[in-house]
Amino acid sequence: MTVAAEFGVLDRTPKELRAQGDARHLSLNEAEWTAIQTHFRALKREPTLAEVETLAQTWSEHCKHKTFTSPIRLTEGKKTRLIKNLFQETIVAATEAARKPWCLSVFEDNAGVVAFGKDWALAFKAETHNHPSALEPYGGAETGVGGVIRDVLGCGLGAKPVLGTDAFCFGRPDYAGALPEGAHHPRRTLRGVVSGVRDYGNRMGIPTAGGGIWFDDDYRLNPLVFVGTVGLLPRWAVKKEVKPGDLIVAAGGRTGRDGLHGATFSSANLAENAPTSAVQIGHAIAEKRLLDALLRARDRRLYRSVTDCGAGGFSSAIGELGAKCGARVRLEAAPLKVAGLAGWEIWLSESQERMVLAVPPKNLKALEAVFAAEGCETAVLGEFTSTGRLVVAHGAESVVDLDMKFLHKGLPKVERAASWTPPPTAKPAGGAAKPPAQILREMLAHPNVCSREWVIRQYDHEVQGGTVIKPLQGVRHDGPGDACVIWPHAAVGDDSDFSAFAVAHGLNPDYGRLDPYWMAMACVDEALRNLTCVGADPARAALLDNFCWASPDDPKQLGALVRAAEGCRDAAKGFGAPFISGKDSLYNQSKDEKGRELPIPGTVLISALAPVPDARRAVTMDFKGPGNALYLVGRTNDELGGSLCHRVLGRCGGEVPKASPACALDGFKAVHAAMLKGLVLSAHDLSEGGLAVAAAEMGFSGEFGARLDLDEVARDPRIYSDETLLFSETPGRLLVEVKPESEGAFLRHFGRGAKAAPVRRVGQTTANPILKVVGLAGNTVLEESLRALKDAWQATLPGMLK
C-alpha cells in the first residue's frame, strides 16, 4: 500500500507550522500544531495531508467548541478566577441541577431530545450558518436549513422534522452607509436568506412557523442566520449504538469537490480570501428523498446508528460514529459527482444531503432496497471495527491511519484570558423628548417590532396540517403571535390525541450592550413568556442556547461571553428549564470599508420548546371582545436601559431590564393553569416597547380597543413617570384578557406574598378600536386610533424592501 501525499510537520517550528496551515485554511493554533507534531514524532512518520485535515476539522471550533470547553482566566476588576470548562460549569451544570426525567438525551446527540407523551419524543436543534450566508445569502441559508434538518434526521435513529424555526440578525434594509468591496447590502442579504429558507423549507414540506428578525447595522457585514428544526421520533428510536462489524453505509447525494473547508472556515475570521468552494446551494429534493428513505428504513429497524454529514463530511461523520470502536473506510466506493477526486477530497468534502449509517450486514440488502425505492443512492464505504483506529484507504493508497483517542481527546486545552468590567450605571441621557403617542407610533414602525408578514407569508407554515396556532393571528390573520403551536397529528397518526407543542425564542442584543448577563436572563424569560402566552407549559420548557460572538481572542469579548453563559446558567436554574442542546459561532467580525474591525454585538438566541397539553386550550394574542378585563401579570420597574423607547429617542444609559426568574415563573404558571381551565381569552408578552406596544398589538389584531389606567400597574413605588410605565421592558410580564364572569376564577390561580407574581386589573377592552391610556395624574396620556397604529406597523418592511 502506498501512502498519500504527506504534510511535513516533524521538523518545523510552531510558527512555520501555523503559516503552512493557514495557507490551507486549516485554522489550527500553534499549541494544536505542537500536539500534532509530538504525536507524529512518536510515530516516527509524517502525517498525510488527509490526517492533518481530519484533525483540523475535528478540532475546529465548529466541531469541538474549544473556546467554550477551554480553561478561561477571568479578571473582574481586581479579582481573578479560573473557569475550568465554561460549558460544563454553566450550560451543563444548569441542566444537571434541573434533573428532569423528561430529558431523554442532552448534549450528546445531534439534537437534544425530550419526551412527548408516553410513546413519542421531540428532537430540537438550532444552529447558525452565518459566514456562508454572508457570502451567498440564498445558498448559505438553504444549506443551513438543510444541515439542521439533517441534524434532526440524524438524531437518535432519525426524527421526522415537524417544524422549522429561523431567526435572523441583519443590518437595516435601509442602511445608507458605505460597505466594503464584496459585501452584500443588508437588503440583499435579507431577501436572499428569506428566499433560501423558503425554498428549502417549503420543498422539504416542513412548516416554517417560528422565528424572528432583529435589525442592527452592526450586523451588516456579519449577518446571523439561526436555523432550527423540531423532529418527532418514537421513544424506542432515541438511543443509537454502533457495533464492530456494522457496515458503514453512505446515503443521499454524491460527493463532489464542493464544500471543501466549511468547518475550519466557520472558525476563521471572515477573510476576503474565503474559499469559494465552501459556498454551495442546496438540493432540497435530494434531501427529501433521503428523509423518505431513512424514516422507512428506521421503522423497519434496518440500521443501528446514523449521523449526518455536516462540517467535515465523511471525516466527521465516520469519525464520530466510530469514536468508541474504530472504523475502516474504502473511499473508492463513494459515488462521486465528477471523476478524479483525490482521497483526501472525498474524505473531507462537505457536499450536501449526505448521511452515514451503521448497518448490520444481514440488513444490507433490505436497506438498499428501501433506499433504491425512493431513488436515493447508497454505498458501502467500509465497516466499523474494534481496533480503536480510524483507517482510511483510497484504492491502494493509505489516506488516514489515526488513533481515535488522539483524534477525539488529543486537542490541547489552551488557557484563555478574559476580562469583564461592569459598565457604570448611567442616568438616562441624550435625545429629545417626544409625546408618548409619537413614541408608540415610532416603536410600532421600528424594524425590530414591525410586521413580519412579508417574510412569514413566503413560508409554507401550515404544511403537515398541524399548525393550530399560527405565527400570524387575529381577525385578519396578520397580528404578531408570540409562538406557534404544532399538533403533529399526521406524523403521529392519531387525530384523537390533541397533545401539541410550542416553540418560541428570546433575543435582545441591545441589553447585551449594557450587560450580557442580564441579556441572557431576559432572553430565557422572553422565550418562556412567549410559550406561556400560547398555552404551553412553562414548567416543562427545554432550552437551546446559540451564542454568536466576535473574536474570543479579545479578552473583553471573551469576558462578555462568560457573562452571557453565566446568565444562561442562572436563568435555567431559576426557571428550572434545562438546556438540551446548543451551538456557538465565534469570530463574527469583519473589516469594514475603512479597514477597521466591525464586531457584531454579542448575541444569544434562546429557543424554547414546551408541550401544550391540549391544543384545543391554546390561546392567541388578539383581543376577543369588548368589555373584558385586562390583567397585567408581573411588576414593572424603571428599566429602560437598552429599550426600544431609548433607541427611538436616541437616549443612552439607564437600568438594563433584570429578570427575576422565581417571581416570573410563578406568574407564568398561574396564567398557564388558568388557560387550562379556559379562563384566558388572549395573552401577549411585554417585550420591546413594553406595555404600550403589547396593548396596541392585541388591540389592532383583534379590532377592539382598550382603556388602560397606569395607576393600577403593579410597580416599583419610585416610578412617577407615565412614560416609564408605558415603555419599560421589565421581563416577566404578560397582558391577559379575561371575561368579567371569569375574573374571580382567574385570580384564584395567583399566589400571594412577597415572592408571588403580582396580578392587577389595569383596564378593559372596548368596542371602539382606540387605545386610551390614563396616566398617574388621572389625565389622558395617549389616545390613538388602532387602525392608524396598525398601518404604521405594517408599512415598514414592505416599504424598506421596495
Partner 1 sequence: MKSPKVLILRAPGTNCELETAAAFRAVGGAPELVHIAELRAGKKRLMDYAILAVPGGFSYGDDVGAGRVLANQIRHALTDLRQFVRLGRPVIGICNGFQALVKAGILPHSNACDQSASFTFNDSGRFEARWVHLRLNTQSSCLFFKGLPEMIELPVAHGEGKLVLRSPRQLEDLKKNKSIALQYVTEDGKLMGYPHNPNGSIFNIAGLTNPEGNVLGLMPHPERFVEIHQHPNWTRQTYRKQAVGLEMFKNAVAAAR
Partner 2 sequence: MSARPMPMATHLIEVRLRPEFSDAEGASALQLLQAEGLSSLKEARVSRLYRIQGPITATQVQQAARDLLCDPITQEHRVVVPVPAPLNGMNFWRVEVWLKPSVHDPVGDTIVSAIADMGLPRPEAARCALVYRLSGRAAKPALERAVARALANPLIHDAVVSEAHP
Catalytic residues, by residue number, are 62, 129
Task: Tell me which of partner 2, partner 1, none is bound by residue 493, counting a contact when its beta carbon lies within the kind-specific cut-off of 5 to 8 angstroms.
Answer: partner 1
The region of 30-38, 159-167, 271-279, 544-552 touching partner 2 under the rule CB under 8 A is: 271-279
Based on CB atoms, which residue is closest to partner 2, 351 or 557? 351
Q: Which stretch binds partner 2 (CB under 8 A): 58-66, 108-116, 132-140, 684-692?
A: 132-140
Q: Which stretch binds partner 2 (CB under 8 A): 284-292, 652-660, 681-689, 758-766?
A: 284-292
Tell me the DSSP string of 250-266: EEESPB-STTTTHHHHH
Least distance from partner 1 to the Cβ atom of residue 669, Å: 21
**At CA 494, angle to CA 490 and CA 499, rounded to 5?**
90
User: H or E stretch including 646?
Assistant: helix 644-649
Q: What angle do CA 268, 270, 276 make, to 5 degrees?
A: 95
Span interacting with partner 2, options 102-110, 133-141, 357-365, 775-783, rule CB under 8 A: 133-141
- Smallest distance from the beta carbon of 198 to partner 1, in angstroms? 6
Does residue 257 bind partner 2 (CB under 8 A)? yes
Stretch of 1-9, 250-258, 450-458, 733-741 contacting partner 2, by CB under 8 A: 250-258
DSSP-assigned letters across all residues of 742-768: GHHHHHTTS--STTSPPEEEEEEEESS
List the single partner that 603 binds among partner 1, partner 2, none, CB under 5 to 8 Å by kind: none
CB closer to partner 1, 315 vs 473: 473
The reply to whether 276 sits near partner 2 by the rule CB under 8 A is yes
CA distance 81 to 287: 47
Strands 705-709 and 770-774: parallel
**Residue whose C-alpha is closest to residue 639's, from 567, 559, 719, 744:** 719
Least distance in angstroms from the C-beta of 255 to partner 1:
20
Stretch binding partner 2 (CB under 8 A), from 16-24, 136-144, 377-385, 534-542: 136-144
Angle between helices 14-23 and 30-43 (to 10 degrees): 100
Residues in the chain: 802
> Least distance to partner 1 from the beta carbon of 234, Å?
15
Query: Where are the extended beta strands (E) located within 373-433?
Result: 378-384, 389-394, 397-403, 416-420
Of the residues 150, 283, 328, 330, which one makes contact with partner 2 according to CB under 8 A: 283
Stretch that binds partner 2, among 181-189, 474-482, 559-567, 777-785 (CB under 8 A): 181-189
Residues within the interface to partner 1 (CB under 8 A): 198, 202-205, 283-285, 288-289, 292, 373-375, 456-470, 472-473, 475, 477, 487, 489-491, 493, 495, 498, 615-616, 618-620, 622, 624, 682, 702
Of 546, 537, 548, 614, whose CA–CA distance to 577 is shortest? Answer: 537
The two counts, helices (H) then strands (E), for the chain are: 28, 34
On the 0-12 / 13-18 / 19+ scale of CB atoms within 10 A, 291 is buried
650 binds, among partner 2, partner 1, none (CB under 5 to 8 A by kind): none
> Based on the number of CB atoms within 10 Å of its own CB, is 276 exposed (0-12), middle (13-18) or buried (19 or more)?
exposed
Min dist. Cβ of residue 269 to partner 1 (A): 35
Question: Is residue 252 a contact residue for partner 2 (CB under 8 A)?
Answer: no
Residues 6+ apart with CB under 8 A from 526: 504, 505, 506, 507, 508, 606, 685, 687, 731
The answer to whether 593 contacts partner 2 (rule: CB under 8 A) is no
In the set 35, 279, 468, 605, which binds partner 2 (CB under 8 A)?
Answer: 279
φ, ψ at 39 (rounded to 5°): -60, -45
- The reply to whether 766 sits near partner 2 by the rule CB under 8 A is no
CB of 477 to partner 1, least distance (A): 5
Give me the least distance between CB of 485 and partner 1, in Å please.
9
User: With CB cut-offs between 5 and 8 Å by kind, which of partner 2, partner 1, none does residue 470 bind?
Assistant: partner 1
H or E, element range at 479: strand 479-480
Residue of 280, 448, 467, 637 that binds partner 2 (CB under 8 A): 280
Q: Is 135 in the site for partner 2 (CB under 8 A)?
A: yes
Q: Is 185 in the site for partner 2 (CB under 8 A)?
A: yes
Q: Which does 188 bind (CB under 5 to 8 A by kind): partner 2, partner 1, none?
A: partner 2
Q: How many CB atoms neighbour CB 708 within 10 A? A: 25
Distance between CA atoms of residues 312 and 63, nearest Å: 9
First-residue to last-residue Cα distance in the chain: 62
258 makes contact with partner 2 (CB under 8 A):
yes
The C-alpha cell of 255 is what?
A: 460527493
Phi, psi of 351 (to 5 degrees): -50, 140
246 binds partner 2 (CB under 8 A): no
Which of these ranges, 57-65, 100-108, 130-138, 383-391, lies near partner 2 under the rule CB under 8 A?
A: 130-138
Cell match 448611567: residue?
426
486 binds, among partner 1, partner 2, none (CB under 5 to 8 A by kind): none
Does 277 contact partner 2 by CB under 8 A? yes
433 exposure class (CB count in 10 Å sphere: 0-12, 13-18, 19+): exposed
Q: At what angle do helices 661-676 and 555-575 cross, to 10 degrees?
A: 40
- In whole angstroms, give the CA distance from residue 473 to residue 796: 19
Closest CB to partner 1 among 89 and 614? 614
Least separation in angstroms between CB 352 and partner 1? 14
Which of partner 1, partner 2, none interacts with 220 (beta carbon under 5 to 8 A by kind)?
A: none
Neighbours of 755 (CB within 10 A): 10
CA neighbours closer than 13 Å in the CB half-sphere of residue 454? 17
Looking at this protein, which amino acid is placed at residue 546? Answer: N
Asked whether position 479 contacts partner 2 by CB under 8 A, the answer is no
Q: Is-contact 727 745, C-beta < 8 A?
A: no
**Binding residues with partner 2: total (CB under 8 A):** 24
233 binds, among partner 1, partner 2, none (CB under 5 to 8 A by kind): none
* Beta carbon of residue 157, minimum distance to partner 1 (angstroms, whole number): 19
If binding is defined by CB under 8 A, does position 281 make contact with partner 2? yes
Would you call 16 helix, strand, or coil by DSSP? helix
Task: Enter the C-alpha cell of residue 202.
Answer: 417549503
Cβ 471 vs Cβ 209: under 8 Å: yes
Tell whether residue 601 is a contact of partner 2 (CB under 8 A): no
Q: Is 188 in the site for partner 2 (CB under 8 A)?
A: yes
Residue 133 found at the interface with partner 2 (CB under 8 A): no
Minimum CB separation from partner 2 for residue 341, in Å?
13
The conformational region for residue 211 under phi > 0 = left, psi -120 to 50 = alpha, else beta, is: left
Cβ nearer to partner 1, comparing 306 with 472: 472
Nearest in space to 615 (alpha carbons), one of 466, 490, 742: 466
For residues 199 and 140, the answer to whether their CB atoms sit within 8 Å is no
Rounded CA-CA distance 229/148 in Å is 6
503-532 residues in contact with partner 2 (CB under 8 A) are: none
Q: Which does 710 bind (CB under 5 to 8 A by kind): partner 2, partner 1, none?
A: none
Minimum CB–partner distance for residue 259 and partner 2 (Å): 9
285 binding partner 2? (CB under 8 A): yes
Chosen from partner 2, partner 1, none, partner binding at 463 (C-beta under 5 to 8 Å by type): partner 1
Q: Is 457 in the site for partner 2 (CB under 8 A)?
A: no
Task: Using CB under 8 A, pick the residue from 113, 206, 225, 286 that binds partner 2.
Answer: 286
Are 573 and 83 within 8 A, CB to CB? no
**Which positions touch partner 2 (CB under 8 A)?**
135-136, 138-139, 184-185, 188, 256-258, 276-277, 279-286, 337, 351-352, 802
